[in-house]
Structure 1
Amino acid sequence: MTRWIKGALGVVALLLIAGLAWYVPARAGWFASDRATLVERYASAPSQFLTIDGVDVHVRVEGRGPPVLMLHGTGVNLHEWDPLVARLKPYYTIVRMDWPPYGLSGLDPKNGYTTKRAAELVGGVLDRLAIPKIAVIATSNGSNVALQYASGHPERITAMAFSILPLERPSQTRAVDWKIRAMMAFNKAVLPDYHPKIFYKWVFEDTSHPGWAVPPYLPQMMYDQANLPGAVARQQSFLKSNAVLFKTTDVGAIAATIRAPVLLQWCERDTVIAQGAEASVRRFANTHVELVRYPDVGHWPMWEIPDRFAKDVKTFLDKAIPAR
C-alpha cells in the first residue's frame, strides 16, 4: 500500500470519527437548548409570560403611543422585529408575542398548532392586556395569523401592514440551495430533531437578497430556539397543518374580509411567495391598499433594509393612526 493511499485512508477514518463524534450526541439530544438559559438570553425585561388558555405565551410590550401588534414569521420569533421596534417605539406602544409553536412560548395542552389556534392566542393576549383596538404589522405566516384574527374581530383592527404575504400556497418550484436540500434530506432520514447552526445561516442566505451579510444574531437565535426539546416536531406539526390548509381551501379569500387600511410592502427578491403584488392587492376587495415595492429585497426586509422599511411603516401608521 502506497503512502498516498495510507494517508487518504487516514483522512477518511478521521472524518468518520469526527462525524460520529458529532452525530451520536446530536442524536441523543445532548445539543438541545436549555430553556432557562434561553429565557435569560431572550426574555429579559420587558418580556413577560402570560398564561392564555393553558399556554405560557412569551410577550413583550414597550414604547409609548397608540398600540401596534407585530407578528413574526415561520421558524423565527418575536425578535425578528428588533430593528423595527427600535425605530418605532418612541412613537408607538409595540406588542410582540411568540405565537406557538415558535419561540419561547410553552406547550399547548390542546396540541393545536394551526393558524386558527395561533389567532385565538393572539386574541387572548390582547384581551389580557386590555387593548380594545390595535394596528397589526405581520410577515410570512404571521400574516396568515393576522388575517385570521382580523377576520373574526374587524372592530379591533385600526390598520394592517404586511411585508411577506402568503395568500396562495408557497412556491413549489423555487430553486432551494443544494446545501439546504442535502441537509434536509439527511435530517429527515437520520436526525429529525436537530439542525446545526450553519443550516439556519444557509436558510437566511437562501431567502434574502444576494450579497446581504446575515447578522450572526439571526441564525444563532433561530438555532437556539428551534433546538428546545420537541420544538422541531411542534413546528413540523404547524407546517403540515398549514400545507393542508393551502391545498384544501382558498386561503387568500380571507383578505376580502379586511376593511381597515392596508400597507403591502412587496419584496421583489422574495422567492417564497407564489402570487404577485397586483394579485395580492386585488384580494383586498373591501379596503384601500397602499403598495410599496422593494426591487432588491428578499424575505427579511426588516433586517435587509431596516431604515427604509421602518420609514415606510411609520409613514403609513402616522396616516392611519396618528401617533400624537
Structure 2
Amino acid sequence: MRTLLAAAALAGAGITGPLPAAPAAEQPNVNTDVAAVRARWAAPPSRFVTVDGVPIHVREEGPRHAPVVVLLHGSIVNLHQWDLVVPRLKRSYRVVRFDWPPYGLSGPDPTGVYTTPRAAALMDGLMRQLGYSRFALVATSNGANVALEYNRAYPGHVTAMAFSILPLERPSQTRKIGARMQELIAEQKARTPQWRSHAFFREVFKDTTSPGFEPKDWMVDSIFDADNLPGAYRNQQALLAANVELFKTDLVARETAAVHGPVLIQWCGLDTVISQSEDSSKQRFPNAQVEVVNYPQLGHFPMWEDPQLFTRDLKAFLDRHPWREPHRARP
C-alpha cells in the first residue's frame, strides 16, 4: 500500500505538506458503541432501511413529488459529504443520499462481500424499497464507479449523470509521499487493531484540496467516527483490493458505453489523484452527451471547497435536463 489515501480514496495518492498537531493522547474509537455514533450522525431526517440483510443509512429531503436526485459519496467519507450541497438542491428536487457499504453507518453486510457490484446491487434494492424508479444520479470519486455499475447493471432508471471526480482507471501510483505522512502510515500499521487518527484524516483532506482550504471539525469528526467503527477498516480494505482487480478488466469500458443521455463532468484542475486526463474522460462516453465544467482552482472535494459554485453548476445541469415522474412504487 503506497499510501492509505491510495487505498481509502481510490486516489493512489501520496500526501505532502504540514500536519497540524494531533490531539494529545488521542485514543482509538474502534470499540465505540455503534448506537452512540448513530445518535450523533444519524439524527432525523436519517433513517435505516434494511436491504438484503444490510442496514442502509439513508436521508430523503425535499418535496416528495419533485424530480429525484440521488447523491453518491466517495471513499473514506459518507453521506455527510453532501451536507453543504443538499440545502441548495432540496428546494427544487427530492434529494436522496445514503452510505454505501463499507462506508459510513451502513452495514455490516452479512455476506461479507464488499465490492462495487455489491454496492450497486444494494443501491438497486434501496431504490426499490424507497419507490424511486427514475432519477438523476450524481457521484464523486469512488462513488462514480458505483454509479456507473448501477446504470449498467440496472438500466432504465437513470435520467442524467453528473461526476465531479471520475476514476475510470486505477488512480495515480506516483504521487510523492511526504515524510510526515510516512510516519502516520507507519504508526497506523503498528497499531493493533488498526485505526486512523483525526490528524490523519485532516491531513488527507488538506492535501487533496485547494490551497488554504481548512476542513471543518465536523467534516473530520464524521469520518473519524464512522471509519473507526468495528470492522470498518478491514471491510474498506476488502473493497479497495477488489477495485484493484476491477480496473484490470473491461468492466469500466462496458459501464461507460452503457451510459446514454446527458452527462456532466465537473473537472477539478487541482485534483491530482485521477489518472486519466479531462479529454480522455470525456471520450470514454461514446454514447452520451457530455458537458464539462472546469474548476482550475478546486481539488478533490469541490462540494466542500466551494459548495456554492459547485451546486450552482450542478443544479443548472439538472435544470437543463428536466424530467418529472410521480413518486411510485417500483416492481
Question: Could you say whether these structures have the same fold, taking a TM-score greater than 0.5 normalized by the shorter chain as the test?
Answer: yes
Q: Which residue is 1:302 aligned to?
A: 303
- Contact preservation (8 Å) 1:150, 1:157: yes
Alignment length (residue pairs)? 301
1:30-49 mapped onto 2 (5 Å cutoff): 32-49=31-48
Structure 1 residues 55-105: Cα deviation after superposition (integer angstroms, max 9, x where no partner): 001111011210000000001100101111011001000011100000000
Partner of 1:74: 75
Structure 1 residues 260 and 153 mapped into 2: Cα distance closer, same or farther (>3 Å)?
A: farther
* Structure 2 residue matching 1:296: 3-state secondary structure: coil
Do the aligned residues in 1 keep the contact of 2:72 with 2:98 (CA within 8 Å)?
yes
- The CA RMSD measured in Å over matched residues stands at 1.9
User: Could you tell me which residue of structure 1 aligns to residue 14 of structure 2?
Assistant: none
| Higher RCO by CA contacts (8 Å cutoff, separation 6 or greater) | 2
Which moves more between the two structures, 174-183 or 299-308?
A: 174-183
Q: Which has the larger Rg?
A: 1
Q: Distance in 2 between matches of 1:192 and 1:240?
A: 19
Structure 1 residues without counterparts, runs of 5 or longer: 1-20
Identity among equivalent positions (%) equals 48
1:221 and 2:222 matched: yes
Residue 135 of structure 2 corresponds to residue 134 of structure 1: yes
Match of 1:123 in 2: 124
**Matched letter for residue 118 of structure 2:** R
Q: Which amino acid aligns with 2:104?
A: G
CA displacement at 1:204 relative to structure 2: 0.4
For the 8 Å contact 2:30–2:230, the answer to whether it is kept is: no
TM-score w.r.t. length of structure 2:
0.87
Aligned-partner residue type, residue 56 of structure 2: V
Q: Which runs of 5+ in 2 are unaligned?
A: 1-23, 326-331
Match status 1:285 vs 2:325: no
- 2: distance between equivalents of 1:72 and 1:282? 24
Cross-structure match for 1:103: 104
Taking the aligned partners of 1:318 and 1:183, their CA distance within structure 2 comes to 44
Show the counterpart of 2:182. Answer: 181
Aligned equivalent of 2:312: 311
* 2:65 pairs with 1:61: no
Partner Cα separation in structure 2 for residue 227 and residue 107 of structure 1: 13
CA contact (8 A) 1:193 1:230 kept: no
Distance, in Å, in 2 between the alignment partners of 1:98 and 1:32 is 20
Secondary structure of 1:154 counterpart = coil
Amino acid at match of 1:86: P
Q: Which amino acid aligns with 1:214?
A: P
Structure 2 Cα separation of the partners of residues 306 and 314 of structure 1: 12
3-state secondary structure, aligned to 1:235? helix
Deviating more after overlay: 263-272 vs 35-44: 35-44
Change (3 A) 1:300 1:173: same
Q: What secondary structure sits across from 1:83 in the alignment?
A: coil
- After superposition, what is the alpha-carbon deviation per residue over 1:232-252, rounded to whole angstroms, capped at 9, x for unaligned? 111111111111211344534
